[in-house]
Every structure is written in C-alpha cells, then in structure tokens.
Structure 1
Amino acid sequence: MLDVLGLEAIEESAYRRLITLPSESVEELAAALRVETSDLAAALDGLEEKGLVARSTATPGHFVASPPALALGSLIVQRQEDIRRAQLELGRLAEQYRGVMADRSDTDVIEVVRGAQAVAQRFGQMQRGASAEVLALVKASVAVVSADENVDEDAALARGVAYRVVVERAAFAKPGFVDLVAESVKAGEQIRVTGDLPLRLIVADRSLALLPLAPTAADSAGGALLVHPSGLLDALLHLFDLIWAGANEVLPSENGTTELSADRLDDLDTRILTLLLAGLTDQAIGGQLGLSLRTVQRRVSHLMDRAQVVTRFQLGHEATRRGWL
C-alpha cells in the first residue's frame, strides 16, 4: 500500500510494526519480521532518511516510529508536488506534440508496432493512460493478450474509466469465458455481442486507436497499427458506433448467477414479435396490444436494428436463431 510513497516492502513492514510499539531494537525487529538483521538495518536507515523513524533517546539501540500524520503526510505532499510538476511537463510536451502533429503528413498519423511484446505493451499503456473511456472490438481468437490476462482493464475500471466492448458471439464458446464476462459486467463494464467482427480494435478516449494485425507469412511475429487523430481514426470511431448500436446487450441473469442473456427482449417486444411472426399487420398488432401504429412500427424497426437485418422475413429468421421466442 505504501509503495506509492516510495517505501520498499521491508520498510513498510518495519514501520507498521514500530507504530504499534514504544520502541524496538534492530535485532528484535528483524526476528519479528523474519528478515536478516543486515537487510533490516539498511531498511531502517532508509526510513530514518525519509523521516519515518528515529533513534530512541530513552533506549539506546532502539528505534521509534514517527507520527503517521506528520511523517506520511509530508511524503504525500511531496509526491503530490512531484505529480503536479509531471502534469505541467506533460502539458508542455503535449503542446509540442500537437504542434508537430499539425505539420505531419497523412502517413505520420499511423505508427506500425512490430512484435507481439510491443503490441501487448501498447495495449496496456493505452488502458493505463485512459482517463474517460475505452472502446474495444474483441474477436473470438486471441491476438496478443487474452481477456483473463488483461489486468490493466480491472485497474482502469476501478479508477472510473468507462468500458464499452463488443464481443464476437463465437467467443462465448470458450470454457470460462461466460463467467469472465459476467465478472466484467458486474464491475461496471458495458458489453454487447454480435456475429462476426471485421477487425480487432481498442480506442482510448476517442483519441488513439490500436488495431492488432494477425501474423502473416512475411511477419510471423505479428504487429499492430497505432492510429492518431485523423480521418482514419474518425472512420474507426464511426465503425465502432455502428457496430455498438446494432449489437445485443449482455446482462447478468436475474438469479444472480454467472449465466448471461445477450439477447434479452422485454415483454412488449416479445409480444410484438410473436404477433408479427403470426402474420398480423402492424395495425392489427397495435389493436391487439393497445398501441399506436407509429409505436408498433418504431419498435419493429428497433428489433430489426438489433438483429442487424433489413427485411421482416430476415427478422423472423434471426429471431429464431437467437432464441428470442
């Protein structure tokens, strides 16, 4: 926990023990923590330099802990000042970068990332650097980092970054994938499901996109394209928005288990679809359900969008395939 303030694990353990005691010797503290005396002595020197411990004047050879509010408070203020300076430097660097971007050619807005390790690094950096939202298109096959290995996603969700992810339906056939998605949904991630996705994609804050590329005969290590603000990035964002609008929402099941319902319809849509497939006209459906013609037409249109079809005949086929009825 205190590693964020620059404390090593042995330093934190020693300080935590000392704040519970009037004082303790190096030998006693080393024995209690089960570490070498020489290692502990070095750790106490570090704590003394940081102002977290002091040598006891009452008992020679013993150490006492400094008050946490005073000692740790000063470290926190120092770290906050370091972060403030880093933020100022980030602003200056960003301004320089924007100036260079204005003079870049069309090819400069795309960076080629080569090798699986480099792609995985960029993948993590984008999530760690995201401040508002991460968008992703996830194909069934794994490109670089599998869903259960993506620890940066958990950390980003914990600090309030919104995730909107569209997953290929075939991915749910993988053992354990349904439970993994259920955990993500419970953590606040929005997940939708669709058929085949045209590509893999991750976008951070709608300002930087990464397109992992499958390995080829010429490049067995694979790679990715890193896309900066440009017309191409705008097109990728538009593609994501279209896929998101037509995909089906993933929701936890009502009984609280890890089962998911990716194609759940509300009761009214189910009744409309049942009557539609029975051959009733929109006017007749409205009369049966007490709805206006416009309302029936609007909800049928919404169902067609969800099913990603253009005709009502296709809607019937897709509704059967998805198990809506």
Structure 2
Amino acid sequence: MLGAIGLDEAQESTYRALVAVGAGEVPDLAHRLALPEADTERALRRLERHGLAAQSSARAGRWVAAPPGVALGALLTQQRHELEQAEMAAALLAEEYRSEAAEPAVHDLVEVVTGASAVAHRFLQLQLGASSEVCALVTGRPNVVAGRDNEAEERAAARGVTYRVVIEREVLALPAGISELAAALGREERVRVVEKVPTKLVVADRTLAMVPLTGRGAEPSALVVHASGLFESLMGLFEAVWREALPLRLGEGGGVAEEPGRGPDATDLQVLSLLLAGMTDASVAKQLELGLRTVQRRVKGLMELAGVTTRLQLGWHAYERGWVARDRPGGDGRGGARTAGSGPPRLA
C-alpha cells in the first residue's frame, strides 16, 4: 500500500513492525519479520532516508519509528506536489502539441505500430489511459494480445472505467475463456457474444481506436486511429455488432450463461402494425385502448431496441427483422397489410 511513496514490500513490512513495537533492535525486528539481519538493517536505512525511522540517541543499535501521521503526511504532500508538477508539464506539452497541429494532416490521424512488443504495449496504454469507457471486439484467435489483459482491466475498472465487450462464440471454448469472462462479469463489465466478430477492435473513450493490420504469419502490426471519419466508422461498426449480440451473465456456480435476446412483445407488434398502416399515435392509442403516452413510450422503446433515431429507420429495421409481415395477400391498404415487392414500410 505504501509503494506509491517509494517503499518496496520489505521496507513497508519493516516500518509496520517498527510502528507496532514503537522501537526495536535489528535482531528483534529481523526475527519478527523472518528476514536476515542484513536485509532488515538495509530496510531500516532506507526508512531513515525517507524520514520514517531514526536511530535512538539514548541507546545504540536501537531504532525508533517516526509518527506515521507526520512522516507519511509529509511524503504524501511531496508526492502530490510532484504529481501536480507532472500534470502541469503534461498540460503544457498538450497545448504545445495542439498549437503545432491545429489542423492535423492525414498521417497524424493514424499511427502504425509494428512488432509484437510494441503492439502489446500500445494495447495496454489504450486501456490504462482510458478515463470513462473501453469498447472491444474480441476474436477467438489470440495473436499478440492473448484475449484481454485482466490486470489492465482491473486497474481501469478500479478508476471507474466501464467496459463494453463483444466476444465471438469461439472464445467460450478457449482453455481460460470461461474463467476470464466470469472475472470480467464479476467486475460488472458488460459482455455480449456473437457467432463471429468482423475484426479485433479496441476503442478508448470514443476518441482512439486500435485494429490489427496483419494476419497470421506476418510481423504483428496494428493501426491506431485518432478522431476522424475512419474512427467514426470503426465506432459505428462496434455499435452495430453490440446491438446484434446477446448479453452474457453469471450463471449458477459462477459459470457464464447467455441471456435470451430481447424483442418486441405482442403489444409492441400491434402498435407497429397500426403505425405502419398510417395511423397516428392518438388513433393507435384509441384502437388498442392504451394511453397516448404509453404508445409513445413503446415506440421510443422499439427505437432503442432497434438502435435507431427516427421512425423511418424503425420502419426499415422492422421490415428487415421480420417484425412486420412482408407479404400479406389480399391486403387493402388498411390494417398494415402489404403486397409482395412493395418494399419496406414507413411509420407515420
């Protein structure tokens, strides 16, 4: 816990032991810590340099612990000051970078990373640098980055970073696939599954994306894409796959289970059918004996389920998903009936 102020495990243990006894000699402390006396004395010397311990002036060879509230408080204040200085330096560098590249050239929007070590390191940086959300598409064919870095995810999650991850079904058959997914779900990550994902992809904070460039047999390389039209396409790809995927949840005994896909219920389909027939929201509400707000709420829910923002898009989605009949022989133009080849419906 005290590693942030520069203490290793042996030094922290020595300080804790010294605090527990108040004062002690090297042999006694070494026995308490189960460490060689040389290692114990070395740790005490390091604590002395940090101002956490001192040799007793009244008794030679005896060490005394400095009060934690004073000594640790001073070290923490120093660490905060150094962090503030580093943040100021980072802000100045960022401002200098922005002023030099107010209108970045095309080559500044993408970055090619080559080599297994470099790709793995950049992947780690994306996660550790995220402040709000990480989105990922994960294949069942680990190459440079085998699956997902659990340690990086744990550290990011501890900072409040949320994860949305889509895996392809093959991941469930990997040796550690189930255990890693159970750990991710235990960290409250949102994980979904599809039969196949189109490509590996990692997106950090909706500003930076990383995709592989080479396949098997070639030197590993990846493309890091900054905010741009290409980035928006990659983000759109993720959202499209996310909408189609089935959620995973923790099952009994800590296993992983798929949740059934959510679709429109019978009332939703009635509302859709009447709207596609050209009826207004008010007419649909009267016909189905529902409140107007209930109809509008159901339409909004259908749009969210379909991942669309307009009623026209919802009509196309309902047509493609089979939520509405494409061919109803004998239709007279009322009640949502359509003839073959008439194309997708439109909502009022």
* Length-normalised TM-score, structure 2: 0.75
CA contact (8 A) 1:208 1:228 kept: yes
Aligned-partner SS, 1:251 = strand
Q: How far off its partner does 1:282 sit?
A: 5.2
For residue 244 of structure 2, what is the aligned residue in structure 1?
246
Within a 5 Å distance, the mapping from 1:70-85 to structure 2 comes to 70-85=70-85
Structure 1 residues 310 and 15, CA gap change in structure 2 (3 angstroms): same
Within a 5 Å distance, the mapping from 1:34-53 to structure 2 comes to 34-53=34-53
Q: How far off its partner does 1:92 sit?
A: 0.9
CA contact (8 A) 1:164 1:190 kept: yes
1:310 lines up with 2:310 in the alignment: no
Deviation track 1:125-154 (CA, whole Å, cap 9, x = no partner) reads: 111111111111111211322336431011
CA contact (8 A) 1:211 1:225 kept: yes
How many residues align structurally? 301
Within a 5 Å distance, the mapping from 1:58-207 to structure 2 comes to 58-147=58-147, 149-207=149-207
Separation of aligned partners in 2, 1:249 and 1:145: 23
Alignment identity in percent?
36
CA contact (8 A) 1:182 1:260 kept: no
Separation of aligned partners in 2, 1:182 and 1:147: 14
Structure 1 residues 299 and 62, CA gap change in structure 2 (3 angstroms): closer
For residue 260 of structure 2, what is the aligned residue in structure 1?
263
Separation of aligned partners in 2, 1:298 and 1:86: 47
CA contact (8 A) 1:304 1:310 kept: no
For residue 228 of structure 2, what is the aligned residue in structure 1?
230
Q: Which runs of 5+ in 2 are unaligned?
A: 275-283, 309-316, 326-348
Residue identity opposite 2:10 in structure 1: I
For residue 321 of structure 1, what is the aligned residue in structure 2?
none
Residue identity opposite 1:258 in structure 2: G
Q: How far off its partner does 1:79 sit?
A: 0.6
Separation of aligned partners in 2, 1:178 and 1:22: 49
**Which piece of structure 1 moves more, 125-134 or 231-240?**
231-240
Structure 1 residues 207 and 158, CA gap change in structure 2 (3 angstroms): same
For residue 2 of structure 1, what is the aligned residue in structure 2?
2
CA contact (8 A) 2:138 2:147 kept: no
Residue identity opposite 2:157 in structure 1: L
Aligned-partner SS, 2:101 = helix
Structure 1 residues 303 and 57, CA gap change in structure 2 (3 angstroms): closer
Q: How far off its partner does 1:123 sit?
A: 0.8
Separation of aligned partners in 1, 2:86 and 2:300: 52
Q: How far off its partner does 1:52 sit?
A: 0.3
Separation of aligned partners in 2, 1:197 and 1:308: 23
Deviation track 1:209-231 (CA, whole Å, cap 9, x = no partner) reads: 111234355xx221111112222
Separation of aligned partners in 2, 1:309 and 1:302: 16
Structure 1 residues 300 and 57, CA gap change in structure 2 (3 angstroms): closer
Q: How far off its partner does 1:205 sit?
A: 1.2
CA contact (8 A) 1:193 1:262 kept: no
Structure 1 residues 272 and 305, CA gap change in structure 2 (3 angstroms): farther
Q: How far off its partner does 1:166 sit?
A: 1.4
* Length-normalised TM-score, structure 1: 0.80
Residue identity opposite 1:310 in structure 2: E
Q: How far off its partner does 1:103 sit?
A: 4.4
Separation of aligned partners in 2, 1:63 and 1:6: 20
1:208 lines up with 2:218 in the alignment: no
CA contact (8 A) 1:192 1:262 kept: no
| Larger CA Rg, structure 1 vs 2 | 2
Aligned-partner SS, 1:102 = coil
Aligned-partner SS, 2:320 = coil
Residue identity opposite 1:126 in structure 2: L
Deviation track 1:303-324 (CA, whole Å, cap 9, x = no partner) reads: 7779998142999xxxxxxxxx
Separation of aligned partners in 1, 2:225 and 2:21: 56
Separation of aligned partners in 2, 1:308 and 1:157: 37
Separation of aligned partners in 2, 1:53 and 1:216: 56
**Which piece of structure 1 moves more, 96-105 or 133-142?**
96-105
For residue 30 of structure 1, what is the aligned residue in structure 2?
30
Deviation track 1:168-221 (CA, whole Å, cap 9, x = no partner) reads: 23322334423432331221111122232221111111121111234355xx22
Q: Which runs of 5+ in 1 are unaligned?
A: 316-325
